[in-house]
Structure 1
Amino acid sequence: MELESVPGVGAKTAERLRELDDPEGALERGDVAAIARAPGVSEGRAARIARGAIRARHGDDTDVLATDRARELYRDALGLVQERAVTDYAARRLETFYPSASADRIAEAHEFTERAVERDPDEEVLAALDGVAPLDEPRDVRVRDRCLATTDAETFSKARAEFPELSVELVEDARGLADLARGYATVVALDEAFTGVEVEGDVRVEPTAFDDPVSVVPERALAFFARNRDRVRAAARVHAAAGLDAPLDVDAVDDALARLTEDGTVADDDELDRLTVAVDDLDAAVSMAESVANDRLREAIEERDVTIEGADLLSLVERGAGVDSLLDRELADEYADAVAAARDHLVDALSLSDHETLARTAFPDDPTFPVEADDRVTSKLREQLSAARDRRAARLKRDLAERLADLRGPAADLVDAALELDVELAVARFARDFACTMPTFEGRGFEIEGGRSPLLDVPFAEAEPVDYGVEGVAVLSGVNSGGKTSTLDLVGLVAVLAQMGLPVPAESARVERFEAVHYQAKSQGTLDAGAFEATLREFGALATGDAKRLVLVDELESITEPGASALIIAGILEALADSDSTAVFVSHLAGEIRDAAGIDVTVDGIEAVGLEDGELVVNRSPRKDHLARSTPELIVEKLAEADEGEADFYRDLLAKF
């Protein structure tokens, strides 16, 4: 699939998608998670791209939702399913389900749904899903103590593209390599020509670096798993709770992740911890060792009576000698003990083993007071400890990164499977919460049995089931507040959900595969001349052509005077009856419309069976070929049946109906 052939994918978006491992495959599958990994592509944007790719794959360029009210019904239907998703990803992924006119797309979505409704939305699984999210690619990884070096301009450009985490330098020869080694802890030479060249510092010659990026920049894999550790672990819990087969050894990845800190370094290594502490505490340990030596030496001096012959004192002065010579002569043993204590303290405090010899030379044998460590030695000790620490850390990083790099693909599959499970569970929960069934596509029009709308302002369990079906055109009559608009909403909702490939809230449902759903909501007041003309033009377009449409209209008579409305609606129904459309017009002018029409217009009625305590008692399922009585008629009938003085008056009124 060509990237630019997908609706909504321009040149810039296509360029971003090309950074994915398999962008064409991701689009072909409609894989929202994979598409969202492209830089700068949000989950919402990925869902729209995936939906466009699905449309392109099925050649589905028809917009089934032809009116604002139809689109509103779709948003309501989608929202009901999205509310049952745990993850934000699943809510976005559900946006790839849309009312389609393509039989192949509907069948594809139905196949997904039939699998989904078999899922068990277990509470333990839902709780585990709360921590799952799409894997995030860290794009802020920078390694500043390491660089790549090459003499070749083409290799330089390739390295900059392949290793954005590292600095890449052009050098002319080994001297340039040596200069870099003085500024970086590690230099990785990419040219085989540098093999065997001896340069002071940590210089590695790796001409195969492009084939083994983990050895060059292990921080890439470590940063990825550090950022996504909780998500991977949550996905593993989902698999365990749901009884799914994990695409990797969960214990192995959990053990590897346990060794990784939040900042992408390796934890739980005693030797690395020792070296890190030694570098960090070196100054403090040296200072304390000096104090140990000086305290002991001071104590020895205070406890010792030193007598100097006059001739000896004169000789010391003539030689310019000071206290050091005096210490060497009179307190040599005490000084040696004090220095030995300082050396032992330094070695013990920093747990120095490999560097003990160098550490002990930090305190010279030549007597001096106060005792002070040799700065040159401590500086060299720091360099050696730092180098040992960095080498240890680098080796541990490479070892752990190699383990994790092999798990990266399976970890992505693990998370993606958990996220897709959430999508399926959302559909399963929707189907269970609203007693849904899978619709069938056959015949003309629609037939709904035991349908209940979840959009009503009453708890779903209290909604009365409705049976209704229409082939061709019909007028739906009934009392005010009897449920005409709710029935129209139910029909539209069932049609929209069915063509989304989702289950519908009914005991059974048969629908025609419509190419468009036109739902004209009730107008708020009479329209002016311009708006009235525009409305007529819209119905004029509906009445022409051979498209299979579902036309739902709620009280069109409100757009103009009642007398004219009945004539207009009758004319529209006559035209729609000659087309492939299925139409239901809700109207209080059903009788007038039937009289004005030049065809036999089916009039169905939602019948009110009486009044109880001032409230209508209604049979919500429309009666076929029945003109329902109005609310005023029922009230007049009730009064006429009452044994009161005005009964004759009410009976006369009733006769007018």
Structure 2
Amino acid sequence: MDLESIPGVGEKTARALAELDDPERALRTGDVAAIADAPGISQGRAARIARGAIRREHDDPGGFLATDRAREVYRELLGLLTERTVTEYAAQRLETIYPSRRRSRIEEVREFARGALEREPEPDVLAALEDVEPLERPNDVRVRERCLATTDAERYSAAREAIPELSVEVVEDAQGLAELARGYSTVVALDESFAGVTVEGDVRVRPDALENPAEIVPERPLSFFARNRTRIAAAIEVHRAAELEVGGDCDLDALEDALTRLEDDGTVAGDAELDRLAAAADDLDAAVGTAESVANDHLREAIREEDVTIEGSDLLSLVERGAGVDSLLSRELSDEYAAAVDAAREHLIDALDLESGEAEIARRIFGDEPTFPVERDENALGRLREELTAARERRAGRLKRDLAEELAGQRGPVRRLVRAALELDVELAISRFAADFDCAMPAFVPDDTDGDDSGDESGIETGFAIEAGRSPLLDEPLEAIDPVDYEVSGVTLLSGVNSGGKTSTLDLVASVVVLAHMGLPVPADRVRLHRFDALHYHAKTQGTLDAGAFESTVREFAALAERGAGSLVLVDELESITEPGASAKIIAGILEALSENGATAVFVSHLAEEIRQMADYDVTVDGIEAVGLVDGELEVNRSPVKDHLARSTPELIVEKLATDAVAANGGEVPGESAPQFYDRLLEKFE
């Protein structure tokens, strides 16, 4: 795939995308998380790039949403979907689902949506999703206690590139290697010529090190898992709660166990021996200080109680002033000094929980030569510190290598594990939307041949048929919305009383068409529709347009009349753009042109009768009929009646006044009465 051919992807972005493990898969499937893993690409930008890649994949020129109001409807519907997501990823992923004119793209999403409708948004699954996030790249790892060594300049450059986590040093011979070993806990020699060379310290000859970097730097794979430990654990919980299928290469129990042995900083947890060594190394100075106090306290007590030529208290005073302490201790208190030193040694060994070899070194910290206060041997202390530190590093290194080897093969499965959990959130958002708005999958005609949807049972050629539709854009509970049935083929005028639901009917049609062309379920019991090339939805204009705006509007409809054969056109009260008489003529001309080019259109208008008289063909007029007035409120049949010009609100009010007036006169109509006046007005509506 030529990455730069994707809309919005330049040379720099293409280089960043090329660093992904499988950029083509990520772009083809709209994997926002994987795309955002590329350097310098945010999730929002990743969604836009994915959208461009999908359009390129399906040869989709875009532009389905042809007007501002059409785009507003899409954004409102998208908002309703994203409100039902848990993760930020799912919200961004939904941005890649857009209304398209391409059948291949629509069918691709429809297949995904069908699977989504089978998902149950259980509370424990939604709760587990709260901690799932896309995997992150770990920060740069630097390991300072290890280094690589080589005698070759070319190998030096290759080593720096292959294993940037370690320092790389150039040495000339074994002596140089020995010097490095004194400064590093571990030295990895890359040259086979060093095989068999004996050097003090932890020196390993690994000519294959650059081919197996994870063995030399286990921190590399461990840092990935440490950085994403919470995310991976949450994804495991989602898979268990939702009973998602797990690939055979991923054992959730084993993965979870491995994660429990990994600290956030990439170190290994849960190993008693490593904990012992770490505690001993960290507590060494404090333990030695306490051991000194134990020995000195023991000696003070012994000196205070000793019965020699001088009183014990005087002897103590002399000793503390340093007067002949060595000879006094050697001559008079040798046994007590030995006991004090033994107590100090045992305390140190017990406090640090030292093993036999370590204990032997620890005993040398307090010598047999009598002194007071008891003095530590700094050389022996340094030796013990080095021994404990080296043992800790060796143990930690081995544990890291073992755990890294255990996890090394899990990076791919873990990516799939987290991706599946995130994609589940997308599916559940669609499922929740469908449940909240009582949705069903629509059927496209005449080219939809899936099962019972084959053929064109409704007689629609270029339009739509909606059964029991409820507009999701209404700010009302679903149960409070009257279901609407509406079918249109060709060009139609929609008439009706004020506040009767004409605009909400257009919103319903627009919502159904947008969602259907996104490949998603629609808010209706059943929908059949044509696959349109574009949606032109013109909202009601606020006030009469000036000359320039009026000219622009007419130009727009001229272009639509010329090239809008496969479009759906929804227009709300276009007559408000100019004077009523002129607008009836203009609308009639627009309807004629749209009818001739085979477009599907619904024009809401209060001038339906005038437009029908102006048109040179038999314009279909549907009506949202008011049943009457109940307590001053309109009672309306929200489903448009086919081929019916709806009565206006004023006509209904006058009719009510006439009925009330007759009732008030007891059925009598004497002379030129109010009922006769109302009857005269009603005749004007006939």
TM over 0.5: yes
Structure-2 residue corresponding to 1:277 = 279
Instruction: Give secondary structure in 2 for the equivalent of 1:111.
Output: helix
Shift of 1:66: 0.7
Matched, 1:604 2:622: yes
Structure-1 residue corresponding to 2:453 = none
Hey, what's the Cα distance between the residues in 2 that align with 1:517 and 1:381? 80
The letter for the 2-side match of 1:652 is: R
Shift of 1:147: 2.7
Structure-2 residue corresponding to 1:316 = none
Structure-2 residue corresponding to 1:647 = 675
Matches within 5 A, 1:111-126: 111-126=111-126
The 8 Å contact of residues 62 and 515 in structure 1, kept in 2 or not, is answered as no
Hey, what's the Cα distance between the residues in 1 that align with 2:6 and 2:156? 35
| Residue of 415, 435, 440 corresponding to 1:437 | 440
Q: C-alpha deviations, 1:314-348, integer Å up to 9, x for none?
A: xxxxxx99220221122222211111111111111
Hey, what's the Cα distance between the residues in 1 that align with 2:323 and 2:477? 103
The 8 Å contact of residues 521 and 553 in structure 1, kept in 2 or not, is answered as yes
The letter for the 1-side match of 2:116 is: A
The letter for the 1-side match of 2:374 is: V
Q: C-alpha deviations, 1:579-619, integer Å up to 9, x for none?
A: 13111111111111111111211111111110001100111
Matched, 1:293 2:295: yes
Matched, 1:493 2:521: no
Q: Evaluate the alpha carbon distance shift between residue 41 and residue 151 of structure 1 in structure 2; reply closer, same or farther with a 3 A threshold.
A: farther
Structure-2 residue corresponding to 1:518 = 536
Structure-2 residue corresponding to 1:8 = 8
Shift of 1:61: 1.4
Structure 2: gaps (5+ residues) = 316-321, 446-460, 665-672
Matched, 1:551 2:569: yes
The 8 Å contact of residues 540 and 572 in structure 2, kept in 1 or not, is answered as yes
Structure-1 residue corresponding to 2:150 = 150
Structure-1 residue corresponding to 2:224 = 224
Q: Evaluate the alpha carbon distance shift between residue 229 and residue 333 of structure 1 in structure 2; reply closer, same or farther with a 3 A threshold.
A: same
Hey, what's the Cα distance between the residues in 2 that align with 1:183 and 1:63? 66
Structure-2 residue corresponding to 1:531 = 549
Q: C-alpha deviations, 1:542-588, integer Å up to 9, x for none?
A: 01036410111111111111111111111111111111311111111
Matched, 1:332 2:334: yes
What is the CA RMSD across the aligned residues, in angstroms? 1.9
Structure-1 residue corresponding to 2:105 = 105
Q: C-alpha deviations, 1:236-259, integer Å up to 9, x for none?
A: 222222222223211111111111
Shift of 1:179: 4.2
Matched, 1:349 2:351: yes
Q: C-alpha deviations, 1:217-240, integer Å up to 9, x for none?
A: 211222222222222222222222
Matched, 1:401 2:419: no
Hey, what's the Cα distance between the residues in 1 that align with 2:158 and 2:608? 76
The 8 Å contact of residues 87 and 133 in structure 2, kept in 1 or not, is answered as yes
Deviates more, 1:181-190 or 1:351-360: 181-190
Shift of 1:11: 1.3
Shift of 1:441: 1.2
Hey, what's the Cα distance between the residues in 1 that align with 2:119 and 2:344? 71
Q: C-alpha deviations, 1:431-470, integer Å up to 9, x for none?
A: 1211111111113111111111111121112111111111
Shift of 1:172: 4.6
Matched, 1:415 2:418: yes
Structure-1 residue corresponding to 2:612 = 594
Matched, 1:261 2:263: yes
Structure 1: gaps (5+ residues) = 314-319
Structure-2 residue corresponding to 1:317 = none
Structure-1 residue corresponding to 2:210 = 210
The 8 Å contact of residues 189 and 206 in structure 1, kept in 2 or not, is answered as yes
Hey, what's the Cα distance between the residues in 1 that align with 2:442 and 2:381? 81
The 8 Å contact of residues 26 and 35 in structure 1, kept in 2 or not, is answered as yes
Matched, 1:619 2:637: yes
TM-score w.r.t. the length of structure 2 is 0.91
Instruction: Give secondary structure in 2 for the equivalent of 1:543.
Output: helix
The letter for the 2-side match of 1:89 is: Y
Structure-1 residue corresponding to 2:670 = none
Shift of 1:485: 0.4
Structure-2 residue corresponding to 1:237 = 237
Hey, what's the Cα distance between the residues in 2 that align with 1:574 and 1:273? 86
Instruction: Give secondary structure in 2 for the equivalent of 1:544.
Output: helix
Matched, 1:74 2:102: no
Instruction: Give secondary structure in 1 for the equivalent of 2:562.
Output: coil
Deviates more, 1:125-134 or 1:106-115: 125-134
Q: C-alpha deviations, 1:33-62, integer Å up to 9, x for none?
A: 322222222222222222211111111113
Hey, what's the Cα distance between the residues in 1 that align with 2:543 and 2:153? 74
| Residue of 428, 431, 438 corresponding to 1:425 | 428
TM-score w.r.t. the length of structure 1 is 0.95
Q: Evaluate the alpha carbon distance shift between residue 150 and residue 539 of structure 1 in structure 2; reply closer, same or farther with a 3 A threshold.
A: farther
Q: Evaluate the alpha carbon distance shift between residue 163 and residue 525 of structure 1 in structure 2; reply closer, same or farther with a 3 A threshold.
A: farther
Q: C-alpha deviations, 1:192-240, integer Å up to 9, x for none?
A: 3333334443332222223322212211222222222222222222222
Q: Evaluate the alpha carbon distance shift between residue 394 and residue 538 of structure 1 in structure 2; reply closer, same or farther with a 3 A threshold.
A: same
The letter for the 2-side match of 1:281 is: D
Q: Evaluate the alpha carbon distance shift between residue 166 and residue 303 of structure 1 in structure 2; reply closer, same or farther with a 3 A threshold.
A: same
Hey, what's the Cα distance between the residues in 1 that align with 2:197 and 2:39? 40
Deviates more, 1:475-484 or 1:289-298: 289-298
Q: Evaluate the alpha carbon distance shift between residue 479 and residue 150 of structure 1 in structure 2; reply closer, same or farther with a 3 A threshold.
A: farther
Instruction: Give secondary structure in 1 for the equivalent of 2:536.
Output: strand
